[in-house]
């Protein structure tokens, strides 16, 4: 998965870690590598070193800290109002990153997975989740989403905000022409009908899922709404 140009961060959470080879390639293409507490352990698997570890440090291997003195540690109390992943996203954005990719952000505790979905929904066009075989992003009316991948790749569109969303697509098997997603599952299990697709939403927040097993699949985020020409 790739995103638009600009400074990017890759944030390693403490969930299920899949497809380390692809995650390593994504991480190497990013400018800032962040471990959200226990996510630090996955850096060992892909032979990379985080620039910073953020969290209460209750799940961090002490050996990594001892062997890599150049890693910045930002410690928070265990009792806090934000998750380690959210603190990591805030750090990335505050340090000049336009986009952040969360890996190992699903699996494990369901509430943590849902929390990470809520996190990307609160940052449309800026934060994505990659779980090893698929990508989830959020889009609002100020942006369009460009998908690049193999014909037949699964694409699902899920409304996140209240009310029905008006969605416009190009390049999907089941096109939407300023149609409203009247139910929560209306947009499930669409697919790419060509190698490039465009998705726009008129209001609210739309979650966009794309299956991307192969490295050629790309997701472009945060393109200015003024260029929404389907």
Domains in the chain with CATH codes: 1-132 (3.40.50.10240), 134-221 (3.40.50.10240)
C-alpha 102/C-alpha 93 separation (Å) is: 13
Give the distance, in angstroms, between the CA of residue 78 and the centroid of all CA atoms in the same chain: 25
Using one digit for the tens of pLDDT, what is the confidence trace for 93-149?
999 999 999 999 998 889 999 999 999 999 998 999 999 999 999 998 877 888 888
Spatial separation of the C-alpha atoms in residues 176 and 22, rounded to whole Å: 32
User: What 3 state SS string does 25-82 have?
Assistant: HHHHCCCEEEEEHHHHHHHHHCCCCCCEEEECCCCCCHHHHHHCCCCEEEECCCCCCC
Provide the pLDDT for residue 79: 82
| pLDDT over 70 at 6, yes or no | yes
In contact, 189 and 154? CB cutoff 8 Å:
yes
214: pLDDT strictly greater than 50: no
- Render pLDDT for 151-165 as a digit per residue (tens, 0 to 9): 999 999 999 977 667
- Residues 191 and 172: beta-carbon distance below 8 Å: yes
Q: Give yes or no for residue 202 having a pLDDT over 80.
A: yes
- Report, as an integer, the average pLDDT of 4-27: 89
> What's the chain's average pLDDT?
84
Residue keyed to tokens 């990013």: 30
| Band of residue 20 on the pLDDT scale cut at 50, 70, 90 | very high
**pTM of the complete model:** 0.85
Mean pLDDT of the region 176-191: 88
- Order across the sheet with 99-103: list the strands: 72-75, 52-55, 32-36, 8-12, 99-103, 127-130, 134-139, 206-211, 154-159, 187-191
- Rounded to whole angstroms, the Cα distance separating 148 from 11 reads 23
Q: Are 187 and 172 in contact (CB under 8 A)?
A: no
- pLDDT band at 70, cuts 50/70/90? confident
For the chain, report the end-to-end CA distance as a whole number of angstroms.
23
The answer to which of 10-14, 129-133, 141-145, 176-180 has the lowest mean pLDDT is: 141-145
209 forms bridges with which residues in the sheet?
136, 156
Give 9's Cβ-side CA count (13 Å radius): 29
pLDDT tier for residue 29 given thresholds of 50, 70 and 90: very high
């Amino acid at each position: 998965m790739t995103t638009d140009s600009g400074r990017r961060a890759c944030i390693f959470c403490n969930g299920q870690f899949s497809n380390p080879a692809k995650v390593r390639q994504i991480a190497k293409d990013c400018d800032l590598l962040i471990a959200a507490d226990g996510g630090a352990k996955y850096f060992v698997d892909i032979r990379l070193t985080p620039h910073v570890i953020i969290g209460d440090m209750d799940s961090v291997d002490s050996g990594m800290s001892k062997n890599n003195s150049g890693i910045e540690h930002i410690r928070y109390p265990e009792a806090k109002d934000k998750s380690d992943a959210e603190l990591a996203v805030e750090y990335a954005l505050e340090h000049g990153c336009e986009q952040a990719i969360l890996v190992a952000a699903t699996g494990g505790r369901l509430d943590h997975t849902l929390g990470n979905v809520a996190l990307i929904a609160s940052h449309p066009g800026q934060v994505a989740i990659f779980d090893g075989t698929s990508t989830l992003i959020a889009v609002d009316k100020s942006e369009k989403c460009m998908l690049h991948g193999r014909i037949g790749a699964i694409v699902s569109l899920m409304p996140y905000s209240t009310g029905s969303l008006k969605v416009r697509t190009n390049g999907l098997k089941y096109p939407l022409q300023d149609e409203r997603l009247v139910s929560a599952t209306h947009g499930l299990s669409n697919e790419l009908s060509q190698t490039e697709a465009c998705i726009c939403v008129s209001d609210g927040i739309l979650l966009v899922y794309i299956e991307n097993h192969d490295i050629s699949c790309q997701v472009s985020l945060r393109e200015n709404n003024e260029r929404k020409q389907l």
